[in-house]
Structure formats: structure tokens, C-alpha cells
């Protein structure tokens, strides 16, 4: 379960999040919608612990952990996963080698032994099938030269491999064609679980048609200004955000 209370965040001295509160119980999928520049990606980066995002007030807890006390890699090891709006290309680092390092770092933190090569490949093949990604792609240099859709699929593969407690998916639908959107949504749906909270950042109803959220929140000017059930997304599609600004 994710609990954010009264979160204030500055970037380069500029206030971006201004008292954001949000709770996502385990097993639920919550969508966050909001106009460009309202602070959605900022929220995702703060959760992941990116440098330069200064928390001036508030708290973030996931389960028993105080996230703000933890480094980027500790958060990930504890089960935070951010699917990037713009996944980073890392030429020269093999995708599989990367995944194995990531998985073993998590196992080590949990006091588990490293996964041997055979078990790793078995797990990888299983998850590749789950997200509908080719072995060829999984063996290439990390995100390097991947198409936009391939990058997004690779984010879902990483999520499947790392089995996080909290997954934040920042515009996982952007840049995807119709089939890729279906495939990615199927991957995400397959990863819904009673142990996992998911935060789905999106601009579009069509993603929420494919991945039905339990709740929808509207983030506007650094705050959650409105919340509702799945039907709220439809209303936003029709009315835009202005009526909420006025409120």
C-alpha cells in the first residue's frame, strides 16, 4: 500500500507538487490524469528518488518503509518500480546482463541467494512470453535503438521480472500503435495481483478501457483536486480539465 501525505516538491527552486495526498491500497490500480505540466512525471520521479527533486514537506510510505529515507536503489530493492515515460537508452549494456544484475540486487537485499544462469533464463523466457516480447529483443543493448513501442514493452518486461510491490507506469501508452497497446495492456493486466499497487499515469481513456482502474485521480497544478471511479475518466474525456480548475 502506498500512502502519500501533503507532499511538497521543488525542482530548481520551483514548487511543482504543492500538497499532494494519495493512497493506493495493495491490489488496486489507480489512474492519475491531468493536463500537461501538472506534475505527474514529477510525482513518479519523486517516488523513484531521482536527484534534483527536493521534498520540502510531506511523507511517502510504502508498507512499513519511509521512502524518503531510502536511496534510489534501496527503493527499487524494496519493491518500487517506475516504468519511465521516456525509457533511457544505455548502449553497451546488454539487456539480459542488466536484468540479471537488477534481479540479483533485489534478491540479495531480501537475503535470497543469487539466481543461477539456468534459472534466470527460465524465468526470463516465462516473462517474455507473458509480455509478448521476442528473445532477440531481450538480448540486445538496453533500449538502444529500440522503437518507442519496444522500449515500453521492455519496461513491462522489467516490471514482470522484478515483481514490484508498487508499479508506477508513466504514460505507458504513449507512442504505441493499436496492437502494441493491446499487448502492453495485456502484460499489465497479467501483472495485477493482490500484493501489488499500481499507479497508471495517462492522458487517454483508451488505456483505461484496456486496464480498468479501481480509482481515477485528477492531478492539477501539483495537487489531487478530484477523484472518482472509472467513470471519471469518461467525464474528463468529454469535459476536459477546466471545470476542475474553476472549482
Residue ranges that bind ligand ATP, judged by CB under 6 A: 11-12, 14, 16, 34, 36-42
Inter-residue contact 70 to 230 (CB < 8 Å): no
- Which range binds Mg ion by CB under 5 A, 52-60, 83-91, 155-163, 221-229? 83-91
What are the φ/ψ torsions at residue 110 (nearest 5 degrees)?
-90, 5
Q: Does 38 interact with Mg ion (rule: CB under 5 A)? A: no
Residue 146 Cβ vs ligand ATP, minimum distance, rounded to whole Å:
20
Q: Does 50 interact with other proteins (rule: CB under 8 A)? A: yes
Inter-residue contact 202 to 44 (CB < 8 Å): no
Rounded Cα–Cα distance for residues 128 and 18 (Å): 40
Inter-residue contact 31 to 217 (CB < 8 Å): yes
- Which range binds other proteins by CB under 8 A, 22-30, 80-88, 172-180, 206-214? 80-88
Other Cβ atoms less than 10 A from the Cβ of 85: the count is 18
Q: Does 73 interact with other proteins (rule: CB under 8 A)? A: yes
Residue 37 Cβ vs Mg ion, minimum distance, rounded to whole Å:
8
Rounded Cα–Cα distance for residues 89 and 175 (Å): 16
Single residue of 38, 41, 158, 202 touching Mg ion by CB under 5 A: 41
CB closer to other proteins out of 145 and 229: 145
Single residue of 6, 56, 66, 72 touching other proteins by CB under 8 A: 72
Other Cβ atoms less than 10 A from the Cβ of 226: the count is 19
Inter-residue contact 217 to 22 (CB < 8 Å): yes
**Joined grid coordinates for residue 157:** 518486461
**Joined grid coordinates for residue 219:** 492531478
Q: Which does 37 bind (CB under 5 to 8 A by kind): other proteins, Mg ion, ligand ATP, none?
A: ligand ATP
CB closer to ligand ATP out of 103 and 222: 222
**Joined grid coordinates for residue 169:** 507506469
Residue length of the chain = 247
Single residue of 39, 49, 187, 222 touching other proteins by CB under 8 A: 49
Question: Which residues are within 8 A (CB) of 143 and not within 5 positions of it... i.e. 6 or more apart?
Answer: 87, 88, 89, 90, 95, 151, 154
| Helix/strand/coil for 162 | helix
CB closer to other proteins out of 15 and 70: 70
**Which of positions 140-199 make contact with other proteins (CB under 8 A)?**
158, 162
Other Cβ atoms less than 10 A from the Cβ of 224: the count is 18
Q: Does 87 interact with other proteins (rule: CB under 8 A)? A: yes
CB closer to ligand ATP out of 39 and 79: 39
**Which of positions 88-107 make contact with other proteins (CB under 8 A)?**
88, 90-93, 97-98, 101-102, 105-106
Q: Which chain residues interact with other proteins by CB under 8 A?
A: 48-51, 71-73, 75-77, 81-82, 84, 87-88, 90-93, 97-98, 101-102, 105-106, 109, 158, 162
Amino acid at each position: 500500500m502506498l500512502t502519500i501525505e501533503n507532499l511538497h516538491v521543488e525542482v530548481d527552486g520551483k514548487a511543482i507538487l504543492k500538497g499532494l495526498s494519495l493512497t493506493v491500497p495493495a491490489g488496486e490500480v489507480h489512474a492519475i490524469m491531468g493536463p500537461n505540466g501538472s506534475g505527474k512525471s514529477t510525482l513518479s520521479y519523486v517516488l523513484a528518488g531521482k536527484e534534483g527533486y527536493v521534498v520540502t514537506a510531506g511523507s511517502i510510505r510504502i508498507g512499513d518503509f519511509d521512502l524518503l529515507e531510502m536511496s534510489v536503489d534501496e527503493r527499487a530493492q524494496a519493491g518500487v518500480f517506475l516504468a519511465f515515460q521516456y525509457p533511457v537508452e544505455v548502449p553497451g549494456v546488454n539487456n539480459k546482463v542488466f536484468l540479471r544484475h537488477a534481479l540479483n540486487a533485489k534478491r540479495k537485499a531480501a537475503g535470497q541467494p543469487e539466481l543461477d544462469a539456468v534459472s534466470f533464463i527460465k524465468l526470463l523466457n516465462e516473462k517474455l512470453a507473458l509480455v509478448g516480447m521476442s528473445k532477440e529483443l531481450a538480448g540486445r543493448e538496453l533500449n538502444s535503438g529500440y522503437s518507442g513501442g519496444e522500449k515500453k514493452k521492455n519496461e513491462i518486461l522489467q516490471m514482470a521480472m522484478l515483481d514490484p510491490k508498487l508499479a508506477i507506469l508513466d504514460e505507458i501508452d504513449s507512442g504505441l500503435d493499436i496492437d502494441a497497446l493491446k499487448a502492453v495492456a495485456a502484460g499489465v493486466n497479467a501483472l495485477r495481483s493482490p500484493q501489488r499497487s499500481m499507479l497508471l499515469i495517462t492522458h487517454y481513456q483508451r488505456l483505461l478501457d484496456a486496464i480498468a482502474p479501481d480509482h481515477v485521480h485528477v492531478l492539477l497544478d501539483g495537487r489531487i483536486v478530484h477523484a472518482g471511479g472509472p467513470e471519471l475518466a469518461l467525464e474528463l474525456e468529454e469535459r476536459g480539465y477546466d471545470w476542475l480548475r474553476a472549482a
